[in-house]
Structure 1
Amino acid sequence: MSKKTSKRRSSGFRGHRGHLGGRRIEQAKNPKNALNRLLSYLKPFRLQLVVVVVLVIISTLFSLSGPYLIGLAIDQFIVTGDIQGLLQISLLMLGSYLGYAFTSMGSGWIMVAIAQRVLKNLRKELFEHIQTLSLSFFDSRPSGDLMSRLTNDIDVINQALTQNITRLISSLLTAGGVLIIMFILNFWLALGSLLVFPIMVGITAFVAKRTRSGFRSLQMNKGK
């Protein structure tokens, strides 16, 4: 009787695996709820997150000021041979680059500290939840799948919190700032540059689709 039951469990699990033959990549039934649950772990760190956002905004302003100052140096000082003005604007450029370095370092350091505390709570809750599961749960799943959930999936969340969030905010602010500066400097040139925007979106969507499939394949292999 136990052999028949074991066979049914084994065949049932195999039937739910993905088409690549590895472990099944489970999709969140409600991505919005899953995101809200993840954000709930960040609520105790609201003040630190506000500081991170402020530092990211400041670092973005510093990064945008660099090219603008270079343009001023070329147009107003190098062309005219004004050495004194060139030295002054060079100091401003140095200050902007140093400001960008320090603010980026500060936001990254704070975000890493937040992420490690969130991951500590996640690992603790996950371990406590595993202690409540029945033996049949472990019997019906490969050990690689469970280990992957305890290590690799947590590492993915760690990367998302420490790198992707700050990069997303910085990229959006940089794109918006560059667009505003372009329209201020030359409206028609900026308008013409937007013609390539649909092409960029298409390329990004294509690469993201390929990357997503590769990531799922990697997660399957890790769970074996």
Structure 2
Amino acid sequence: MVHGHGARADLAGGLDDLPKRPIARKTLARVARLYRPYRTALITVAGIILISAVLQVAAPLLIRQIIDVAIPNADRRLLVWLTGGMIGIAAISGGLSLGTNYLNTRTGLTVMEDLRLAVYSHLQKLPLSFFTSTRTGDLQTRISSDVASTQLMLTDTLGTLISSSVIVIASVIAMLVISWELSLVALVTVPIFAGAMLSVGRKRRALTRETQRTLSDLTSRTGETLSVSGVILSKTFGREADQLDQFRENSSRLTVLSLRQAMTGQTFFVVMQTFFTMAPAIVWLIGGYILTG
């Protein structure tokens, strides 16, 4: 009797046995076509993100003026204007963030609806031979779970990618303007973390693909064995115990895959978060040495 321990053993050793196919350009082109009718919304989001990035970069420059000019010169009027500007930037940034989230979510959900309709319409046009050779559970998973799994990318990841890219570029420019020496110290670690993040991304993508495949198998098995005809066959031939073992094995594999998917890269992210928490102290130390000669 199989109890799913084999699934745990298969996945406990690492990700070497999982497929690591890169995302095909054809797939990216198809995603781009889905977004084509919503170019106006995407341009609006990009514009809002650009404004938000400029505002985020402006805040440290205001702090610089407060520390270097307003406080040393006891200029209360300038201090009020600068602090008021910081408060205004925070308020405007909050409103822009809310608008960006709304547009991102609405556009992503609309694209999801179009994708579901396209998949369903395509399935209706396929010949009968396709349905006789394809499990019903697989089709259900494609329309529901697989399409839903893309929602995070469409509504969150894409916007975050654009926002992060713009903010990084603007921040680097501002850092170089303020102090190119400290900027070089801060930027020297970027290639290291970028390489590590790419590696983590490849592993998570492989795990996500395998998780979706296992979920499809589980859904198909459920549909086949718990349908009226499936239950009749199971009871007629006394297959309940075997089917339970197979279901347990698939379910156990799905649990292990989901856990590994959630935990992959967590150590790296903890190390990165710890480093960035300590980074200001390192910058202050080096900056202090520079200022004191």
**Aligned position for 1:16:** none
The AA in structure 2 aligned to 1:198 is P
Q: Could you report, residue by residue, the CA deviation over 1:93-142 in whole angstroms, capped at 9, with x for unpaired residues?
A: 11111111111211221222222222222211211122223444334333
Partner of residue 65, structure 2: 72
Matched AA of 1:101: G
Does the alignment pair 1:161 with 2:176? no
**Number of equivalences:** 202
* CA offset digits 1:21-52 (Å, max 9, x no partner): xxx98969x82232222222222222222111
Question: Residue 25 of structure 1 contacts residue 219 of structure 1 at CA under 8 Å; is this kept in 2?
Answer: no
Structure 2: unaligned runs, 5 residues or longer: 1-9, 12-17, 219-293
- Corresponding residue number in structure 2 for 1:183: 176
SS of corresponding position for 1:141:
coil
Most deviating of 51-60 and 140-149: 140-149
Counterpart position of 1:150: 143
Name the SS of the counterpart of 1:51 in structure 2: helix
What TM-score, normalized by structure 1, do the two folds share?
Answer: 0.77
Contact 2:19 2:206 in 1 (8 A): no
Give the equivalent residue in structure 1 for 2:192.
199
Name the larger-Rg structure.
Answer: 2
Alignment partner, residue 33 of structure 2: 40
What residue is the counterpart of 1:10 in the other structure?
A: none
Distance in 2, Cα, partners of 1:61 & 1:79:
27
Partner residue of 2:202 out of 206, 209, 217: 209
Aligned counterparts of 2:65 and 2:211: Cα–Cα separation in 1: 48
Instruction: Report percent identity of matched pairs.
Output: 27
Q: Which one-letter code corresponds to 1:123 in the other structure? A: R
Separation in 2, partners of 1:127, 1:189: 55
Tell me the residue number matched to 1:138.
Answer: 131
Deviations 1:144-165 (A, max 9, x none): 3222211222123322221111
Per the normalisation by structure 2, the TM-score is: 0.61
